[in-house]
Protein backbone atom coordinates (compact mmCIF):
# COMPACT_ATOMS: atom_id res chain seq x y z
CA UNK A 1 0.00 0.00 0.00
CA UNK A 2 1.13 3.47 -0.85
CA UNK A 3 -0.14 6.89 0.26
CA UNK A 4 -3.04 7.94 -1.96
CA UNK A 5 -4.38 4.41 -2.53
CA UNK A 6 -8.12 3.93 -2.09
CA UNK A 7 -8.84 1.09 0.36
CA UNK A 8 -11.83 -0.65 1.94
CA UNK A 9 -11.93 -2.08 5.46
CA UNK A 10 -12.34 -5.83 4.91
CA UNK A 11 -12.54 -7.05 8.53
CA UNK A 12 -14.53 -5.99 11.55
CA UNK A 13 -12.65 -3.13 13.26
CA UNK A 14 -14.46 -1.48 16.18
CA UNK A 15 -13.45 2.04 17.20
CA UNK A 16 -14.73 4.32 19.96
CA UNK A 17 -13.39 7.63 18.68
CA UNK A 18 -15.48 8.14 15.51
CA UNK A 19 -16.69 11.77 15.50
CA UNK A 20 -20.38 10.90 14.88
CA UNK A 21 -20.40 8.00 17.38
CA UNK A 22 -18.05 9.27 20.11
CA UNK A 23 -17.90 6.97 23.11
CA UNK A 24 -19.94 4.26 21.35
CA UNK A 25 -18.73 1.17 19.53
CA UNK A 26 -18.65 1.80 15.76
CA UNK A 27 -17.65 -0.91 13.27
CA UNK A 28 -15.62 0.35 10.30
CA UNK A 29 -16.07 -2.79 8.18
CA UNK A 30 -17.08 -1.83 4.63
CA UNK A 31 -15.96 1.81 4.94
CA UNK A 32 -13.80 3.22 2.13
CA UNK A 33 -10.98 5.69 2.63
CA UNK A 34 -7.58 6.83 1.41
CA UNK A 35 -4.20 5.73 2.73
CA UNK A 36 -2.50 8.78 4.28
CA UNK A 37 0.79 7.15 5.24
CA UNK A 38 2.43 3.84 6.05
CA UNK A 39 4.61 4.11 9.15
CA UNK A 40 7.93 2.30 8.77
CA UNK A 41 10.53 4.76 10.06
CA UNK A 42 10.81 7.48 12.68
CA UNK A 43 13.53 10.09 12.42
CA UNK A 44 15.46 7.86 10.03
CA UNK A 45 15.26 4.74 12.22
CA UNK A 46 13.33 1.67 11.11
CA UNK A 47 10.34 0.87 13.34
CA UNK A 48 7.78 -1.94 13.40
CA UNK A 49 4.47 -0.49 14.63
CA UNK A 50 1.52 -2.76 15.40
CA UNK A 51 -0.90 -0.64 13.31
CA UNK A 52 1.26 0.92 10.57
CA UNK A 53 -1.32 2.03 7.97
CA UNK A 54 -3.12 5.34 8.57
CA UNK A 55 -6.35 5.72 6.59
CA UNK A 56 -8.45 8.89 6.29
CA UNK A 57 -12.24 8.73 6.02
CA UNK A 58 -12.86 12.42 5.37
CA UNK A 59 -11.60 14.24 8.49
CA UNK A 60 -11.60 11.04 10.58
CA UNK A 61 -8.38 8.97 10.60
CA UNK A 62 -7.67 5.52 11.98
CA UNK A 63 -4.69 3.14 12.18
CA UNK A 64 -4.89 -0.37 10.67
CA UNK A 65 -2.88 -3.52 10.07
CA UNK A 66 -2.30 -4.33 6.40
CA UNK A 67 -4.47 -7.47 6.50
CA UNK A 68 -7.53 -5.47 7.64
CA UNK A 69 -7.65 -3.54 4.35
CA UNK A 70 -8.18 -4.36 0.68
CA UNK A 71 -7.88 -2.28 -2.48
CA UNK A 72 -11.11 -0.45 -3.36
Place 60 in a pLDDT band, splitting at 50, 70 and 90: very high
Per-residue model confidence as pLDDT tens digits over 37-57: 999 999 999 999 999 999 999
Domains of the chain: 6-71 (2.30.30.50)
SS3 annotation, the chain: CCCCCEEEECCCCEECCCHHHCCCCEECCCCEEEEEEECCEECCEECCCCCCEEEEECCEEEEECHHHEEEC
* pLDDT at position 14: 97
Amino acid sequence: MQPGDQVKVSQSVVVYHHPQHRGEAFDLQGQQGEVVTVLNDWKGRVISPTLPVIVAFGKFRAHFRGDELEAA
